[in-house]
Structure 1
Amino acid sequence: MEVTFTATRQALLRRQGLVFVEPGRATASERHLQAIELELAQLGYVLSRRLRQRLATLAPDELALHPRFVAAALAAQVGANVRYTPLFRRFPEDVPKDTSELYLRKLLCHFLQTEGQPCLFCRRVGTTHVLSPCMHVVCDHCFDGANYSACPVCEHHVDRGSPFFKPGLFLARSLPREKVRFKLLDLGESLPAAARALFESFCARKQVMSSVDAGDLGAIVEEFGEQVLAWLPEKIAVRENVARIFGALLRKCNAPATFAVARAHLATATDVLRTLAVYSYADPSLQGEVVRRQVEQAAADRADTAGLAAKVKKIFAGGGRLPKARTVTVVTHAYRFRVAPLRRPLRRAVLAHLESMHPDGLIEDMLRHRSYWQWLGEFLHPHEFADKFPRVARAFAVVRKKAPDGTPAPRFVGFYAAIEAAARAGDAAAMIERLQARPGELGRRFDHALRVAGADASAQDVVVSAFVAAAPRLANPLLLTLHGHLPARGRPAAVRVFWPKGQVTKGTSAPDRRAPLQPRAIAAAGQAVEHELLRRLADKPGFHTCVLDEGLRDVIVPFNERTASRAAVSLPRGSRVALPAGEVVRLFLHWCEPEGGRTTDIDLSVAFYDDKWEYVGVCSYYQLRFDGPDGQPIAQSSGDLRSGPPPDGAAEFVDVHRERARARGIRWAVMVVNNYAGMSFSQLDRAWAGMMLRGDLGGKHFDARKVELKFDLQGDNGVFLPLVLDVAESTIHWLDVYSTGQFAFNNVATSNQAITKICPEMIGYFASGVRISMFELALLHAAARGRQVIVRGAGGARGFTRTANESAEQFLRRIRAGEGATSAVLPAADGPPVFAALVHGDLELPAGSVCYALFRERVIAPIAAGDLLA
């Protein structure tokens, strides 16, 4: 019997812990089932009783395939699907203490050591070996072949069949002895029903889907095809998500028939453009396609790097001697995409739909993405149908700045130009008059309009009244953004942070020069926002009991999932997570170069700073150990592998001992991933990094059971700052932010200015409360939907019961103030369904419960953070 494990099954396994297995007619042996449990346990997973019982009904051939597929998908999720072999094989033991002395030895070997001659250092004869293909001559007495996994001189992968590498070097290491918190796998009942529920949750999202969500959506459409058309809701809130859905459907289903359904959801020309982008396998965010050009850069123009080690790396990069010139990659952006074939019926359907739009709105929307429309016009041929679709022909003439006969296009003044003109004139009333036609734009420009109104009380009243009237038509994410933003606008912020649109996040900051808003305006608008949010949430299904974790106060509501790194745990950017005491933080990095022989070098480093962000030290390729005053390592690296050829790639680790760092006066430890050799992260075959918490540093370097975070590297930048460890408070700050860096030769020394600017600003920005927490969002749900709210924290569980005549607003204020709290007992597993929002899904919840859990653990089929925004 053929067993398939589709991408939809993988998505439901990753997201919800569900395994779909049809019942069999056999009886599996207990020994076989135990072997399956042992394999999954090594990945940190356990089977539920009913899933184990279902597997016990399978024939031997089915039982061999099902768990294999499951284990492979789970291993890929945490990064356990590759071999991790660091440069120093016995890491964390036998890492050289004096990195400068080690690099000097490498330098002399590189230039002076020759085949057949006595060793330069020990003067022994017959102990040297020529490694292939780098041709470096190394002495097995001076360099321990039982500890190295690559060439000790250039640190590139070489032929491991050389006698230099001692027998037994690459034998598997044992599994460490660790205390493990296992995650539960359960039996899925109906694959189509689960796929439909997931698809509908994507449609209900009120913000742009992440790359993981988009991939899972595409998998469902690919597997179920035209069935998906019956699952579509009447309204899909987010325009980019509309494009994701219908672009995928256009590829899979009959294009004209699918577009006939899509027309009801495509309100603007940009919606159409995005849908055609997805149909053409392009990015619907319309941020431009990356174009790379190879150019030669003179040696004199190269950026120097810090220290002897960096200079040695320059020499080794040339494979023998420093070249006079090297090739570098220049990255530019082209605002177009490779258009998939547009058959005539589809072209006519697109043009007919564009023709049905308001002519001025059509032109203005097309001008927002002029380059894209100029390019797409080459494929739509709008002027072939100018008589039938005159509005579209006119719009393309404006976009192209001339008509087909060469006459200039008419001048066009759009909505946004009029708004800006009113703002420059200081006319808040004129701004509001225009903005009332577009409530979403009014909500986004509310702060700006109040500042334009200035101290004029009557003008401020006009702005606030218009906003309050528009509140029922604002999207939930915008209301929640204002819910966090408005209370902070009574005074200038320490720093103002902007988030430019892009494939990855590169936060930009500036001093806050905005005038503070008047308390009266803040209070009125804030009350309208909170009232509207509670009103909407009260319409959702109610629960008698709601359980909330205090720890979610440090978890930020995701505000831009498009740029979030693909990760095993969806930790929103800006969040803080408490770490248990005692365990060592082991950071890991893996990358693999693409086929074709191109090489690169990705480096993992940790930079250390004191409480004032003054630089203290580093653990990196040019300082393998960072020791404390007692000589014990605060951090140590597994060594710098400078190539990652397929299929195994390369791996690096850094261990950080938090207690030793704290004793040294260190406050911050910044994880830094540097693109050293110039190939961007997005060009690699695969690349990811992450964090483990290890109690036992022996055994396997990589233990899937102890992976707390694992995230992909992406984009075309040179420096990635994923997280900051606060050793004083034993927490991590998840930043997930990139810095452009240099063409090459990035390291902590060259990135220090970016680190000491970006990290404290981002940490301060999110700590200011300008972005609301998952606790606040869950509390809004609980106050509007629940009768009893249990808040679980370090001091135990506190309960709040809503009285008969108490409004949701009153109940919410009372919970915030802690009034009327009593000791509470967590709900039993056999009770009625509950609503829960947890940091760790360590509760056994009743059937039918709705739960968000940052770390899934025992919770089956949790909802995503984005589902709470719907």
Structure 2
Amino acid sequence: MVHTLERLVVRHTLRVPVPSGTGQGAAAARQFDIALMSVGFKLSGELFTALSGCEEKTVAALAARTLDTVRELVGDHVRHNPYFLRFPAGVPDTAAFWAECLVKALGDETARPLVLGQLSTGTLDLLTLPTYGRYQHAYEDLLAAHGELVAAAGDRVTLLHPGGALLDEVSALYLALAGSRTPLGEEHLADLAVLAGNQAHGPQPERIPVREVRAVVNRARLKAGAALLVDTVTDVLRLACALSVGDVGLREPTRFRAPSRAHRRALLAALDAVVAAQPAKLVDVTRHREAWKRLGERLHPHEYPQWPHAAEVFAVARGERKAPSLAGRAEALLAGGDVASAADLLATTAPGALFRGLDRFVRTAQEGPELDAVLTAAERAAARVSGRVVLSLREHVQNRTEATGAAESGAPRRVFVNRSGGAWVTEDTRGPLPEAVRDRLTALLDAETRRRLTVPERLLVDPEVLSVALPLSGRAAAAGLGTLPRGSVSRIEGELLRFFTYWKQARATTDHDLSALVLDAGYDAVTWLSYTALTSVEGTHSGDVTNAPDGATEFIDLRLGAVRGDFIVPQVHVYSGEGFDRVEESFFGFMLREADQGGRPFEPRTVRMKSDLRGPGRIALPLAFQRDAEGGWHARWLHLYLKGEPHGNRVEENKVTFAVLVRGLVERTPLTVRHLTDLMTAAGARTELWDGRTPAPEEPVTYIGLERPEGLAPGSRVITPENLRDLIPA
């Protein structure tokens, strides 16, 4: 468990807990530093000094564990073997390669009858050819075929920094995740479950604002015998889902397991206490009526007459007792044309619901006193709405200008992205928001955000972080190295751009296909690279691998100077077998190199991003690349999972869908770090753009950047993508 906790700290914070004890560890620290550099990491000066004063054996053991952790972060914990041995050299023309596979199959006595039978019908299944999709060389052959990577100034170097004692670091990480003001992704929730089990009796955050996070914490507290943190009946339902390893987000039905008697009593006692204190909270039951019915079959509330209020929950679920919801009352007022009263009701009782539906209220209200009443209700409710919802509405309002991205019919398009990363496009039938309304809402939301922000006396900002989107949802970014929230834009530099995807099947034969689509400025397809198009002017594909019992990797190598379009859209398709959330492991990433660097197809020092692929759907769109007016390239982060087809997904059949999605997301303006730094500056912070080339100030500062720099004064607050959620005000 100790090593697991240490790994979590390193992975989430890039901080290494410094062991206790004294000794002569400088030699071991130097060896540690050299080993880290081979995978693109390095000890900071402060960490090297701290480890040099520790025992040599302790440093050596710590180095081995940390190296394993960072290798997994960058994707170097597995063997990456392309189909074509000398990739990116030696990739044949697609038709010529298929013909070669066919000739070899005809020379194989076992395969020949099946192949001849197919040819007689005028069709040929490539998957039946013995040499197609199956490695023809060992990984050791690959290593022998490629020279060493030539070091370049642009290779990635990620610093590891010193942490405190392990228990202190674990507690701090737990408090940060449990107290997050934005929802966490599935990977972070899983890590939080481990931390919560260790910290059930330790320090707790003042508030756990995200209900799904609270469910994970409560599961750990229940198992540890600690008091539960519940104040709504839905908190209890989420906890029941967590105990059954179900969806605490309540998006998917949970198959409830029969709880132990102790857990049954705890759940019913918690329900009873909530309803006894505030009977009005029974209205929440109707939102998840079917889930409550299924849970009641497992809890048997009738066997526990000492908790009569808990039984009322299930009576509401069965329809035996009425509990009109606030949403229902508001809808009734709206249906009757009384928009002002509906807004006033929600402003008083459910301000978050008013903010989430404010666009509809504004469009429904009659211009004049009624519209003014709606906006006044929003102004009155603003102080009681979470900071995340305030910022989400601010982002929504700034995108409600004149519609862009019109379809061929002239109708504007609207892109939806759900909490699982699923995306779809439809016509935008909403009427426009009047400019005066947008201006009034913008002023309200900015003033409310500024009021809540912690304004530092001195603020240092890395210019590269200003275009990073605010993480208003943890599901808008995947776990991994170098990932940024959906909508973020980051500059890339290099001559060669290389994508890679790795997967390892769990039970069934599984074929994931890496592809890249090139679009022009009008979002029309120019070309693509995939297993059906191995070579083009732009670059090469490493070859199709169709079975991955021991893991498999596919690559695409692009020469950026040769790209004929303005957008590059890499994607991973599930052609057959297990999806991203079913395989044992699956991830995507990209590398940047100079043309003369050489090296193996996968070189960890050149990896700029590695992102886990664990979402639903059969097609993953991690990000897109866009050429700017000066010819440079920028990454635009998408983190999307499309439903796709059960079998046979290919880039050629989805070109239009991809183009529409990319266009919709590119033309949408996210709320970025710049928005909050501008508000801090307006509120009195002394703000300075700082790229780290000059000495850091001697006094403590707040620093916001893509990576933690060296040399900041003790007491400085550091915000990087790892803890960017801390910027979101309460």
Give the alignment's TM-score, normalised by structure 1. 0.76
Alpha-carbon deviations, 1:751-801, whole Å to 9, x = none?
Answer: 223212211112112xxx3x3111112322343362x222359xxxxxxxx
Is 1:361 aligned to 2:264, yes or no?
no
Residue in 2 that maps onto 1:522: 438
Give the residue type in structure 2 aligned to 1:155: G
Residue 791 of structure 1, aligned match among 689, 697, 702: 689
Query: In structure 2, do the counterparts of structure 1 residues 431 and 116 end up closer, same or farther at CA, with 3 Å as the change threshold?
Result: closer
How far is the alpha carbon of 1:427 from its aligned partner? 1.4
Indicate whether 1:832 and 2:699 are aligned. yes
Rate the CA distance shift 1:668–1:351 in 2: closer, same or farther, 3 A: closer
Structure 1 residue 496, shift from structure 2 partner: 5.4
Partner SS for 1:682? coil
| Superposed CA offset, 1:422-473 (max 9, x none) | 2223211221232121111122222222222122x11112111111111111
CA distance in 1, matches of 2:142, 2:176: 50
Alignment match, 2:293: 374
Compared CA separation, residues 608 and 781, structure 1 to 2 (3 A): same
Alignment of 1:589 with 2:525, yes or no, is: no
1:278-311 CA deviation, whole Å, 9 max, x = no partner? 23333311121xxxxxxxxxxxxxxxxxxxxxxx
Q: Distance in 2 between matches of 1:106 and 1:82?
A: 28
The 5 A counterparts of 1:82-161 are: 82-96=78-92, 98-111=93-106, 113-114=108-109, 153-157=131-135
- Whole-Å separation in 1 of the counterparts to 2:703 and 2:44: 21
Q: Which residue of 1 aligns with 2:272?
A: 352
**Could you tell me which residue of structure 1 aligns to residue 12 of structure 2?**
15
- Please provide the CA RMSD for this pair: 2.9
Partners of 2:350 and 2:111 in 1: CA distance: 81
Instruction: Find the partner of 1:505 among 388, 404, 421.
Output: 421
Residue 25 of structure 1 and its aligned partner are, at CA, apart by 4.7
Q: Select between 11-20 and 375-384 the one with higher mean Cα deviation.
A: 11-20
Cα displacement (A) at 1:740: 0.8
Aligned to 2:688, the other structure's residue is in SS state: strand
Task: Indicate whether 1:760 and 2:697 are aligned.
Answer: no
Are the aligned partners of 1:547 and 1:835 in contact in 2 as well (CA < 8 Å)? yes
Task: Say whether residues 1:536 and 2:452 are aligned partners.
Answer: yes
Q: Which residue matches 2:316?
A: 398
Could you say which structure has the larger radius of gyration? Answer: 1
Task: Find out whether 1:243 has 2:162 as its counterpart.
Answer: no
C-alpha contact 2:178 2:208 (8 A) present in aligned 1: yes
Q: CA deviation at 1:621?
A: 0.6
Are 2:729 and 1:865 equivalent residues in the alignment?
no
Distance (whole Å) between structure 2 residues aligned to residue 182 and residue 726 of structure 1: 24
Q: State the 1:114 CA deviation.
A: 2.6
Counting aligned pairs with the same residue, the percent is 27
Residue 349 of structure 2 aligns to a residue whose secondary structure is coil
Quickly say closer, same or farther: Cα 1:785–1:341, change in 2 above 3 A.
farther
Query: Could you tell me which residue of structure 1 aligns to residue 205 of structure 2?
Result: 232
Q: Bigger shift: 673-682 or 240-249? A: 240-249
Aligned-partner Cα distance in 1 for 2:29–2:442: 57
* Worse-matched range after superposition: 195-204 or 267-276: 195-204
Partner deviation per Cα, 1:130-149 (whole Å, 9 max, x = no partner): xxxx997xxxxxxxxxxxxx
Aligned partner letter, 1:667 = D
> Displacement of 1:612 after TM fit?
1.4
Partner AA of 2:285 in structure 1: M
Q: Does 1:672 align with 2:571?
A: yes
Structure-2 residue corresponding to 1:566: 479
Partners of 2:41 and 2:509 in 1: CA distance: 36
Q: Matched residues in 1 for 2:666 and 2:40: separation?
A: 31
Q: Select 1:282's aligned residue among 243, 246, 252.
A: 246
Residues 205 and 869 in structure 1, CA contact (< 8 A), matched pair in contact too: no
Q: Which residue of 2 aligns with 1:67?
A: 63
Measured at CA, do residues 708 and 590 of structure 1 come closer, stay the same or move farther in structure 2, by a change above 3 Å? same
Q: Which residue of 2 aligns with 1:631?
A: none
The equivalent of 2:583 in structure 1 is: 684
Q: How far apart are the structure 2 equivalents of 1:342 and 1:706?
A: 54
| Letter paired with 1:749 | E
1:772 aligned partner, one-letter code = L
2:616 to 702, 716, 729: 716
Once residues 261 and 471 of structure 2 are traced to their aligned partners in structure 1, the CA distance between those partners, rounded to angstroms, is 36
Aligned residue pairs total: 703
Deviation at 1:395, TM superposition (A): 3.2
Is the Cα contact below 8 Å between 2:573 and 2:618 reproduced in 1?
yes
Contact 1:545 1:789 in 2 (8 A): yes
Q: Match for residue 215 of structure 1?
A: 190
Q: Please say if residues 335 and 371 of structure 1, whose CA atoms lie closer than 8 Å, have aligned partners that are also in contact.
A: no
Contact 2:580 2:615 (8 Å CA) reproduced: yes
Report the residue type matching 1:791 in the other structure.
Answer: L
Q: Does the C-alpha gap of structure 1 residues 348 and 735 become closer, same or farther in structure 2, counting only changes over 3 Å? A: closer
Say whether the 8 Å CA contact 1:240–1:285 is kept in structure 2.
yes
1:549/1:426 Cα in 2 relative to 1: closer, same or farther (>3 Å)? farther
Q: 2:40 aligns with which of 30, 41, 44?
A: 44
What per-residue deviation string (whole Å, max 9, x for no partner) do you get for residues 219-267 of structure 1?
Answer: 322333412xx3331x32222222222222223x11xx422xx2xxx22
Q: Does 1:271 align with 2:235?
A: yes
Distance 1:50 1:547, change over 3 A: closer
User: 8 Å contact 2:286–2:317 — kept in the other structure?
Assistant: yes
TM-score normalised over the length of structure 2? 0.89
Checking the alignment, whether the CA contact within 8 Å between 2:247 and 2:254 is kept in structure 1 is: no
Please say if residues 182 and 725 of structure 2, whose CA atoms lie closer than 8 Å, have aligned partners that are also in contact.
no
Query: Structure 2 vs 1, CA of residues 413 and 173 (structure 1 numbering), >3 Å: closer, same or farther?
Result: same
Q: C-alpha deviations, 1:496-517, integer Å up to 9, x for none?
A: 5454644x21123323222223
Partner of 2:123: none
8 Å CA contact 2:244, 2:254 repeated in 1: no
Report if aligned partners of 1:26, 1:58 keep a CA contact under 8 Å in 2: yes
Q: Note if contact 1:619-1:626 (Cα within 8 Å) is conserved in structure 2.
A: yes
Deviation at 1:90, TM superposition (A): 1.0
Question: In 2, distance between residues paired with 1:58 and 1:549?
Answer: 33
CA distance in 2 between counterparts of 1:667 and 1:844 reads: 40
Paired with 2:526 and 2:497, the residues of 1 have a C-alpha distance of 19
**1:781 lines up with 2:691 in the alignment:** no
Q: Alpha-carbon deviation of 1:24?
A: 3.8
CA distance in 2, matches of 1:24, 1:78: 31
Task: Determine if contact 1:677/1:744 at 8 Å carries over to the other structure.
Answer: yes
Tell me by how many angstroms 1:607 deviates. Answer: 1.2
Kept after mapping to 1: 8 A contact 2:268/2:301: no
Are the aligned partners of 1:493 and 1:512 in contact in 2 as well (CA < 8 Å)? Answer: no
The answer on whether the counterparts of 2:588 and 2:611 sit within 8 Å (CA) in structure 1 is yes
Does 2:366 align with 1:454?
A: yes
- Residue 35 of structure 1 deviates from its aligned partner by 2.8
Q: Distance in 2 between matches of 1:659 and 1:221?
A: 49
The SS at the match of 1:69 is helix
Give distance in 2, aligned partners of 1:551 and 1:244.
35
- How is 1:615-764 mapped onto 2 (pairs within 5 angstroms)? 615-627=525-537, 634-646=538-550, 649-661=551-563, 664=564, 666-695=565-594, 696=596, 698-727=598-627, 728-764=631-667
| CA separation of 1:174 and 1:114: change in aligned 2, threshold 3 A | same
Alpha-carbon shift at residue 589 of structure 1 (Å): 0.8
- Residue 124 of structure 2 is matched in structure 1 by none
C-alpha contact 2:344 2:374 (8 A) present in aligned 1:
no
CA contact under 8 A between 2:497 and 2:557: conserved in structure 1?
Answer: yes
Change (3 A) 1:478 1:281: same
* Aligned-residue offset at 1:365: 1.2
Output the CA distance in 2 between the equivalents of 1:33 and 1:389. Answer: 60
Give secondary structure in 1 for the equivalent of 2:482.
coil
Q: Which SS does the other structure have where 2:174 is aligned?
A: helix
1:548 corresponds in structure 2 to: 461
Q: Which deviates further from its counterpart, 737-746 or 837-846?
A: 837-846
Is contact 1:460-1:521 (8 Å) kept? no
Residue type at the aligned position of 2:577:
G
Distance 1:352-1:47 versus aligned 2 partners, 3 A rule: same
In the alignment, does 2:182 pair up with 1:197?
Answer: no
Match runs of 1:282-361 below 5 Å: 282-288=246-252, 334-338=253-257, 340-343=259-262, 344-361=264-281
Contact 2:86 2:142 in 1 (8 A): no
Question: What secondary structure sits across from 2:581 in the alignment?
Answer: helix
Judged with a 3 Å threshold, the aligned counterparts in structure 2 of structure 1 residues 536 and 103 are, in CA distance, closer, same or farther, namely same
Distance change in 2, residues 1:417/1:510 (3 Å): same
